[in-house]
Amino acid sequence: MSIQPGETLPDIAIQVIDRETRSHQTGALFAGRKVLLFGVPGAFTPTCSNKHLPGYVAHFPEFQARGISVMCLAVNDAYVMQAWAAAQQVPAGLLMLADGNASFTRALGLELDGTAFGMGLRARRFALYAEDGVVRLLQVEAPGELRVSTAEAMLAAIDG
C-alpha cells in the first residue's frame, strides 16, 4: 500500500542534485518546509522528458511564489539525474532526487515493475504535496497517463 495523506514521509538516505550531488536524509530534507515531490518512471524517457519535468521547470516560479520547494524523484543514479537536469535546463533550487536502489520509492509504496519494458524497478508517475514531512495531497497516475501529477494539476489542487 502506498503512503497516504496524513502520513509522515519515510526517512531514507538519498542523493540530492542541485548543481552538485550530496547525500541527505529525506526526513531532514522535507522537515520544516512545504514540498511538491513528483516521481517519474525514468530520466530521459519520452513523457518524463517532453512533458512531466518541463512542466515543473516552466511553473517553478509559481511554486516558489507560494513558498513551495519542488523536487523530482526517479529511480536512476545520481550521474544520470545530473545529466538529465543539465539537458532539461533545470533551474537551481529545483532538486533532483536520485533513488538509485529504489529505497525511498519502495518505502513510499510507489514502485513500478518495469521489467517487461527492460526498465527494472522504477517509480510510478505521481506527485505529492507535503508540509513539514507530512503528506497533505497525493496524486498517482493511472498507467500510461499524465493528468493528475502535472505541475498545472498540482498548482490547482494546492490552491483549491
Query: Could you list the active site residues?
Result: 48
122 close to 41: Cβ distance less than 8 angstroms? yes
Q: How many residues does the chain have?
A: 160
Cell of 124: 510510478
- Show the DSSP H helices in the chain as ranges: 26-30, 46-47, 53-65, 78-87, 103-108, 151-159
Does residue 137 sit in helix, strand or coil? strand
Cell of 109: 509504496
| Cα→Cα distances 109→46, 72, 104, 106, Å | 24, 17, 9, 5
DSSP assignment letter at 52: I
